[in-house]
Amino acid sequence: MTKPDASPDTSPDTATSPASPASPVSVLLDLADGVATITLNRPEAMNALDIATKDLLLATVRQVAQDPAARCVVLTGTGRAFCVGQDLREHIGLLARHDDSLWSTVPEHYNPIVELLSTMNKPVIAAINGVAAGAGASFAFAADQRIIVDTGGFNMAFAGIALSCDSGASWTLPRLIGIAKAKELLMFPRTVPAAEALELGMVNRVVTAEELPAVVGELARTLAAGPTMAYGSIRRSVAFSAGHPLSESLAQEADQMAVTGASQDHAAAVAAFIAKEQPTFHGR
């Protein structure tokens, strides 16, 4: 829920703005051709998360998770940052007032946002248009595919302001890059540039800023046209097996195979295979 340690790009003076109600467009939603694009839209604050923005983001993620017309979800930001995490100007004010919402925001906002991004029954892409820090990095790690611009990077900034990690970082990051490296980045926060993030396995692809819309758009359309029910089942099986022994994971796989085996998408795929045609999937 934090933002990076002070640097020319991400200092408190440039990364956050005075606490104020979020505008109605602090989180944008566009749904077209089965692709729901959620855009954090506080570029002047590097898409830092104040309470109003977190409320709107959670509501938006819930909406797309439940909408059958949204077959693939893209999470991105406007401006030079993907998301730098908690709005520290608001955080400082809440801290000074000993406001209980300072810590209740983790279970009330961050946890459900990450859980939905991780488990919704459709694929999720993080289109990382700049720096992703703290909870912003954790949001990206919850996606299935992460495409980052070559000028972007990650900063697990929590320890820099003497906080533990949140938004699933302790779960997702070790699974992406291993326990030892995850602890290193969590305990000694630094900005991991895009090229290194690719080498570590934090992202799937590095592109230029000019390439990002087209690359993400093509990937999102491909996923949206695919067997989204199967994608959702794969997501659940992979998440389940990360914390369960082999025998239980095999049982989970069998359950998900039964669900997808009874789907219209599977029947259509088999019929198309026999007819040597391309199947059309509907996510059911």
pLDDT in tens, 180-195: 999 999 999 999 999 9
Element (H, E) at 178: none
Which residue in this structure is represented by tokens 């991991």? 192
CATH placement of domain 228-275: 1.10.12
Asked whether residue 75 carries a pLDDT value surpassing 90, the answer given is: yes
Residue ranges per structural domain of the chain:
12-224, 228-275
Q: Which two tokens stand for residue 66?
A: 């439940």
Which pLDDT band, with edges at 50, 70 and 90, does 27 fall under? very high
Beta-bridged to residue 133, according to DSSP, are: 155
- CATH superfamily name and code, 12-224: 2-enoyl-CoA Hydratase; Chain A, domain 1 (3.90.226.10)
> Taking the chain, what is the end-to-end CA distance rounded to the nearest angstrom?
36
pTM listed for this prediction: 0.85
Q: Are 87 and 49 in contact (CB under 8 A)?
A: yes
Identify whether the C-beta of residue 115 lies closer than 8 Å to the C-beta of residue 59: no
pLDDT tens-digit map of 131-158? 999 999 999 999 999 999 999 999 998 8
Question: CA nearest 227: which of 192, 269, 190, 174?
Answer: 269
Q: Express each pLDDT in 214-252 by its tens digit.
A: 999 999 999 999 998 899 989 889 988 888 999 999 999
Q: Cα angle vertex 159, ends 60, 16, to 5°?
A: 50
Q: How far apart are CA 210 and CA 160, in angstroms?
A: 32
